[in-house]
Amino acid sequence: MAGASASAAGAALLGRSGQLRSAGSASATAPSRLRSSGGRLDLDLVAQETEVAIPGGPARALTYNGLLPGPLLEIDPGDAVRINLHNRLPRPTNIHYHGLHIPPGGSGDNVFLSVGPGESHSYAFTLPADHPAGTFYYHPHSHGTVADQVFGGLGGVLIVRGALDRIPAVRAAAEQVLFLKDLPAERGSSPMGMGLMLGREGAVLTVNGQVNPTLSMPAGGLLRLRIVNGSSARFWRLALEEHPFHLIATDGGALEAPVELVELLLAPGERAEVLVRGERQGGRYRLLNLPYTRGAGGMMGGMGMGSGPGQQGPVSIATLAYAGSVAPLPLPERLLPVELLPEPVRRRRFVLNHGMAPGMGMVFLINGRPFDHGRIDTRVRLGDTEEWELVNDGVMDHPFHVHINPFQVISRNGKPEPFRAWKDVVLLRPGETVRIRTRFDDFAGRSVYHCHILDHEELGMMGILEITA
Ligand code: C2O
Ligand code: CU
Ligand code: CU
């Protein structure tokens, strides 16, 4: 797109989003929403630095269309999506559609494509007609600027509607998106050295760009939370006072039946959908982020890592307030079948670790090698089912992520997973071995797998996957 029309489109959107932003901070806690209609979603996304109003947070952040988080995109299977990305940042950027099963080449989910400062690119893809419903995540993915740009604020939620939404007990629930992002404090210093190696965390915890927003629900009601960890390194370990979570979907969509959880841990890039029952009579309950340590216990000479600057105990990130009451709504008993994948035709092993490289300091490695954009690390065949053994040989947590095709976790440290679920990020704690199974369906092309602590990805923990027909 030409510069003139790009800036006109941007200006029009900015006017609109400015209003949306002030409306949002006054009351609601939902990101501004763009819904496809007539089988199409067409929009402009302007990546730029803008002023933001976040108590205790930075005065400026990186935003899409002036919004933090970016607009909430909502589409149906079969929809044609066109996104005109305009880069008003000083460094290259692009867009990755985290979790979507769409072509990895051309103007689809192409992370090798780079949009330079002042340039625009028109992304276009058609979501497969059988794409599962779920909660997905768009964010920049241009190697070398990913961690800075995600930590700086960029990212947004993409909802695919479908069968899960049509289950009566799910449809009856009130829906709320929670986009979780930590931001640096107003006077935070920029991290260097070890901070960067371990993965930057900000001290200001935001939900949909707000600090401790209020969510409301009636007694007897059901609240469906679509939770996205949009942080570059922070893990969110959530618990809601006096209310269990009923997990109904993971990264790639629905489970077979709800699973009750007392707390929910989400590594960067992970998503979960949970139902909360309004089983109390009234009152206010805190949604807490509990402290979490991302390994590396002995490495830092006692300096804590994970849970970010200063988080020693639970922090309230949102408040659930009861308002009114309704006749009690039941939880769904069954959700959707989760396919049992066939026996793998091939097994591979990926060892995650770190080391020192001359002149580079610490590097993060997969099978002993740091990322090289000119090297294809893993070649697979379209249609094959494979089983990958992932081994964390290091001293820090690494959430392993694969693009384009979701996977199922088969076992962790030799113990079978308790239930089948579609995932695209799986956490490996130090010393753990996890087996995942995946099938390379529909799309040939080149993509990546990497650690979703984005500072680790930038420092080498990524490989290139080529799927050939
Ligand atoms: Cu959300 Cu390659 O990442
Ligand atoms: Cu991804
Ligand atoms: Cu990592």
Cis amide leading into 69 (omega within 30)? yes
Q: Which of 341-345, 354-358, 389-393, 442-446 has the lowest mean pLDDT?
A: 354-358
User: In this structure, which residues have their CB less than 5 angstroms from ion ligand 2?
Assistant: 98, 403
Judge if the beta carbon of residue 398 lies within 6 A of ligand 1.
no
pLDDT > 70? residue 20: no
Q: How far is the CA of 392 from the centre of ligand 3 (A)?
A: 9
Ligand 1 pocket residue status of 401, Cβ below 6 Å = yes
The answer for 248, left when phi > 0, alpha when psi is -120 to 50, beta otherwise, is: alpha
Percent of all residues in the chain with a pLDDT value above 70, rounded to a whole number: 88
98 lines ligand 1 (CB under 6 A): yes
Counting ligands in written order, the one closest to the CA of 99 is 2
Reply yes or no on domain 3-161 having CATH 2.60.40.60.
Answer: no
Closest ligand to Cα 147: 1
Contact (CB, 8 A) for 273 and 249: yes
pLDDT of the residue at 188: 57
**Given pLDDT bands bounded at 50, 70 and 90, which one contains residue 154?**
very high
Distance CA 188, CA 121 (A): 34
Task: Tell me the ligand closest to 399's alpha carbon.
Answer: 3
E-strand ranges in 330-432 read 346-357, 361-366, 378-381, 385-392, 398-402, 407-412, 415-416, 425-428
Q: 190 vs 241, which has greater pLDDT?
A: 241
CA distance 101 to 12: 31
CB 417 within 8 A of CB 409: yes
Name the fold adopted by 168-325.
Immunoglobulin-like (2.60.40)
Distance 99 CA to ligand 2 centre (A): 6
Locus of tokens 């799910």: 170
User: Average of pLDDT values for 22-28?
Assistant: 34
**What does the pLDDT read at residue 360?**
75
Amino acid 179: pLDDT: 98
380, with CB counted inside 10 A (0-12, 13-18, 19+), is buried
Q: Which residues contact 376 (CB under 8 A, 6 or more apart)?
A: 446, 464, 465, 466
SS3 254: strand
- What are the angstrom distances between the C-alpha of 109 and each of 147, 287, 354? 18, 34, 28
Mention every residue, 6+ apart, whose C-beta is less than 8 A from residue 425: 251, 267, 268, 269, 270, 399, 400, 401, 452
Instruction: Determine the atom of ligand 1 nearest the C-alpha atom of 448.
Output: 2
Q: What is the CA radius of gyration of the chain?
A: 21
Tell me, using a 6 A CB cutoff, whether residue 141 lines ligand 1: yes
Q: What is the mean pLDDT of residues 22-38?
A: 64
> How far does residue 469's CA lie from ligand 2's centre (Å)?
22
User: For position 16, what pLDDT does the model report?
Assistant: 32
What pLDDT is recorded for position 25? 34
DSSP structure string for 18-33: HHHHHHHHHS--SPPE
pLDDT of residue 309: 62
Quote the CA–CA distance of 224 and 171 in Å, as a whole number.
Answer: 9
Does domain 346-468 correspond to CATH entry 1.10.760.10? no
pLDDT tens digits, one per residue of 70-128? 999 999 999 999 999 999 999 999 999 999 999 999 999 999 999 999 999 999 999 99
Ligand 1 atom closest to the Cα of residue 137 is 1
Neighbouring CB atoms inside 10 A of 106's CB total 12
Mean pLDDT (the chain) is 90
What pLDDT sits at residue 9?
Answer: 30
Domain 3-161 and domain 168-325, same fold? Reply is yes
How much distance in Å is there from the Cα of 44 to the middle of ligand 1? 21
Mean per-residue pLDDT, 132-159: 98
pLDDT at 196: 67
- Which of 85-89, 138-142, 184-188 is predicted least confidently? 184-188
Phi-psi region of 148 (alpha: psi -120 to 50; beta: other; left: phi over 0): alpha
Is 403 near ligand 1, meaning CB less than 6 Å away? yes
Q: What span, in angstroms and rounded, lies between the C-alpha atoms of 298 and 8?
A: 54
Is-contact 155 205, C-beta < 8 A?
no
88 CB-side CA count, 13 A: 21
Q: How many Å lie between the centroid of ligand 2 and the Cα of residue 284? A: 36
* Cβ(463) – ligand 1 distance below 6 Å: no
46 vs 5: CA distance, rounded Å: 13
> 134 falls in which pLDDT band (50, 70, 90)?
very high
Residue 469 burial by CB count (10 A; 0-12/13-18/19+): exposed, middle or buried?
exposed
**450 within ligand 1 shell (Cβ under 6 A):** yes
pLDDT digit string (tens) for 393-448? 999 999 999 999 999 999 999 999 999 999 999 999 999 999 999 999 999 999 99
Q: What average pLDDT does range 24-33 have in this prediction?
A: 55
Residue 357 pLDDT class (50, 70, 90 cuts): confident
Question: How far is it, in rounded angstroms, from Cα 225 to Cα 177?
Answer: 6
Pairing assessment for the beta strands 284-289 and 236-240 based on DSSP bridges: antiparallel
454 alpha carbon – ligand 1 mean position (Å): 8
Q: From ligand 3's centre to the CA of 269, what distance in Å?
A: 12
Question: Is the pLDDT assigned to residue 261 strictly greater than 70?
Answer: yes
pLDDT band at 5 (very low <50, low <70, confident <90, very high): very low
Judge contact between 63 and 48, C-beta under 8 A: yes
- Listed by start position, the domains of the chain span 3-161, 168-325, 346-468
- Give the residue with greater pLDDT, 166 vs 187: 166
Ligand 1 proximity of 96 Cβ (cutoff 6 Å): yes
Residue percentage of the chain with pLDDT more than 90: 84
Measured CA to CA, the distance from residue 259 to residue 275 in angstroms comes to 10
**β pairing state of 433-439 and 385-392:** antiparallel
How many whole angstroms separate alpha carbon 406 and alpha carbon 33?
26
Q: Which residue is closest in CA terms to ligand 1's atom 3?
A: 98
Q: 366 has which bridge partners?
A: 352, 369
Q: Which phi-psi region, left, alpha or beta, contains residue 7 (left: φ > 0; alpha: ψ -120 to 50)?
A: alpha
Q: Residue 215 has which token pair?
A: 């969510």
Given pLDDT bands bounded at 50, 70 and 90, which one contains residue 312? Answer: confident
Highest mean pLDDT, choosing among 198-202, 336-340, 360-364: 336-340
pLDDT of 224 > 60? The answer is yes
pLDDT of residue 191: 55
Q: Residue 197: pLDDT band by 50, 70, 90 thresholds?
A: confident
CA distance 113 to 127: 20
Query: Which has more confidence, 212 or 359?
Result: 212
pTM: 0.92
Query: What is the pLDDT confidence band of residue 14, given thresholds at 50, 70 and 90?
Result: very low
170 Cα distance to chain centroid: 22
**Per-residue confidence at 310, pLDDT binned at 50, 70, 90?**
low
Ligand 2 centre to CA of 45 (Å) is 19
pLDDT of residue 10: 30
